[in-house]
Amino acid sequence: MPVIAGVGTAVPPHLITQNQCRDFARRLFGGAFRDIDRLLAVFESAQIETRHFAAPIEWFEASHSFAEKNTLYLTHAVKLAAEAIRACLQKTNLAPEDIDHLVFVSSTGIATPSLDAHLFNELGLRQNLKRTPIWGLGCAGGTAGLARGYDLALAHPGETVLVCALELCGLTFLHGDRSKSNLIATSLFADGCAAVLLLGDDAARQHPELAENAPRILGSASTIWPDTMDVMGWDVQEEGLKVVFSKDIPSIVESKIRPQIERFLQDQQLSRADLRAFIAHPGGMKVLQAYQEALDLPDELLHYSRTILRTHGNMSSCTVLFVLAQELQKPHQPGEHGLALSLGPGFSCEQVLLQW
The domain of 38 spans 3-209
Question: What amino acid positions are annotated as catalytic residues?
Answer: 139
Which DSSP letter does residue 180 get? H
Residues 158 and 74 in one domain: yes
Q: What's the CA gap between 85 and 348, in Å, rounded?
A: 27
The per-residue pLDDT for 20 is: 96
Q: What's the CA gap between 218 and 220, in Å, rounded?
A: 7
Structural domain tally of the chain?
2
Residues 338 and 222 in one domain: yes
The per-residue pLDDT for 254 is: 73
Residues 182 and 306 in one domain: no
Last residue of a domain, one of 163, 188, 209: 209
Residues 296 and 220 in one domain: yes
Q: What's the CA gap between 34 and 40, in Å, rounded?
A: 12
Residues 176 and 263 in one domain: no
Last residue of a domain, one of 187, 209, 231: 209
Q: What is the CATH number of the domain that holds 42?
A: 3.40.47.10
Residues 97 and 173 in one domain: yes
pLDDT in tens for each of the 356 residues of the chain? 999 999 999 999 999 999 999 999 999 888 888 889 898 999 998 999 999 999 999 999 999 999 999 999 999 999 999 999 999 999 999 999 999 999 999 999 999 999 999 999 999 999 999 999 999 999 999 999 999 999 999 999 999 999 999 999 999 999 988 888 899 889 999 999 999 999 999 999 999 888 888 999 999 999 988 887 777 778 787 787 877 777 777 777 777 888 889 999 999 999 888 999 999 999 889 889 888 888 889 999 999 999 999 999 999 999 999 999 999 999 999 999 999 999 988 888 999 999 99
Residues 186 and 242 in one domain: no
Residues 178 and 307 in one domain: no
Residues 132 and 218 in one domain: no
Residues 36 and 143 in one domain: yes
Residues 193 and 247 in one domain: no
Candidates 332, 328, 280, 337; CA nearest to 306 is 280
The per-residue pLDDT for 238 is: 77
Residues 202 and 233 in one domain: no
